[in-house]
Amino acid sequence: MFSAMFSNPRLASSLLLATLLSAACLPAWSGAPKPVSDGAARKADAIFEKGHKAFDDRKVAKAEEFYRKAIEIDPTEARYHRQLCLLLAQLERGQEAEREALIALNLEPEDWRTMIVLGNIFNREKRYEEELHIYRKAAKLVPDKEKATRQKLLEHVRKGELVMKEEADREKRKVEQEEAEFKDRY
């Protein structure tokens, strides 16, 4: 599988970009993250909840401000990054949303919800191979009580793989046709 990734130049360049992005967007601390005090954690949670309220009231700019403030107080809380990622994705600010998703996954590597959001970002950016890869990974992590979500992910992956195969077959036929026409002319 690893060698297959590099046989596709588009996927290889996307993986390289994702690697560089994730390396460039590690949290602001160096070494192991320092836990915040209980008081700071409570303050961050209260601000985070204000962000939810603003988001529910469709005050998106205010929600973003609250989420960023909560992250400033406690940058080690993955759900803060995930929620900011959701908001940024909704605003179609893909690079910023992807950055927050990668930070959240760095903090909680098995956070299947963040993986689903990241897959949606990849889809919007037409990075279909990465989308299917992250959905496969998320499907393995979805808890049993979320069987419907797992099934939807797996079905989406199956359909995506079929579409990609059909697209590759179409491209192959097109190249073969162009080669045949070239031979006929010369």
| Mean pLDDT confidence for 180-186 | 82
136 contacts: CB under 8 Å, gap ≥ 6: 153, 157
What's residue 78's pLDDT?
A: 95
φ, ψ dihedrals at 14, nearest 5°: -65, -40
Indicate the residue type of 24: A
pLDDT at 75 over 60: yes
pLDDT at 5 over 60: no
Least confident of 82-86, 98-102, 161-165: 161-165
What ranges make up the beta strands (E) of the chain?
none
What's residue 182's pLDDT?
A: 84
What's residue 3's pLDDT?
A: 45
13-23+38-185 maps to which CATH number? 1.25.40.10
pTM of this prediction? 0.70
pLDDT at 7 over 50: yes
The per-residue pLDDT of the chain, averaged, comes to 84
